[in-house]
Amino acid sequence: MIKIPEDKVIITVAQTGALVTKAMNAELPEQPDEIAESAYACYQEGAAICHIHARDKSGVTTGSKEVFQDIHDRIRSKCKMIIQDSTGGGPNLSFEQRVECIHANPEMASLNMGSLMRISGPYAGKPFANLPKEIETYVTWMRERGIKPEMEIYSHSMLRDVENLIKKGLVEKPYYINLVIGMSYQGAIDATPKYLNSLIDFLPQDAIFNVTPVGAAQLPLTTMGMILGGCVRVGMEDNIYYRKGELVKNNAQFVARAVRIARELNKEPATPDEARKILGLKIP
Ligand code: KMH
Ligand code: ZN
Q: How confident is the model at residue 169 (pLDDT cuts 50, 70, 90)?
A: very high
Whole-prediction pTM: 0.98
pLDDT digits (tens, 9 = 90+) for 131-156: 999 999 999 999 999 999 999 999 99
Interatomic CA distance for residues 172 and 199, integer angstroms: 20
Query: From the CB of 150, is ligand 1 less than 6 Å away?
Result: no
Nearest ligand 1 atom to the CA of 238 is 1
Q: Is 227 in contact with 265 (CB distance < 8 Å)? A: yes
Segment 125-132 mean pLDDT:
98
* Distance (Å) from CA 59 to ligand 1 centroid: 18
Query: From the CB of 180, is ligand 1 less than 6 Å away?
Result: yes
Q: Which ligand is nearest to the CA of 180?
A: 1
* Distance (Å) from CA 130 to ligand 2 centroid: 14
Give which of 278, 199, 236, 280 is closest to 9, Cα–Cα. 278
Query: From the CB of 237, is ligand 1 less than 6 Å away?
Result: yes
Average pLDDT of the chain is: 98
pLDDT digits (tens, 9 = 90+) for 177-236: 999 999 999 999 999 999 999 999 999 999 999 999 999 999 999 999 999 999 999 999
- How much is the pLDDT for 33? 98
pLDDT digits (tens, 9 = 90+) for 16-30: 999 999 999 999 999
**Would residue 196 be called left, alpha or beta, if left means φ above 0 and alpha means ψ between -120 and 50 degrees?**
alpha
Centre a 10 Å sphere on the Cβ of residue 266 and count the other Cβ atoms it contains. 8
Segment 60-69 mean pLDDT:
98
Write the residue with the smallest CA distance to atom 9 of ligand 1: 88
**Bridge partners, residue 253, by sequence:** none
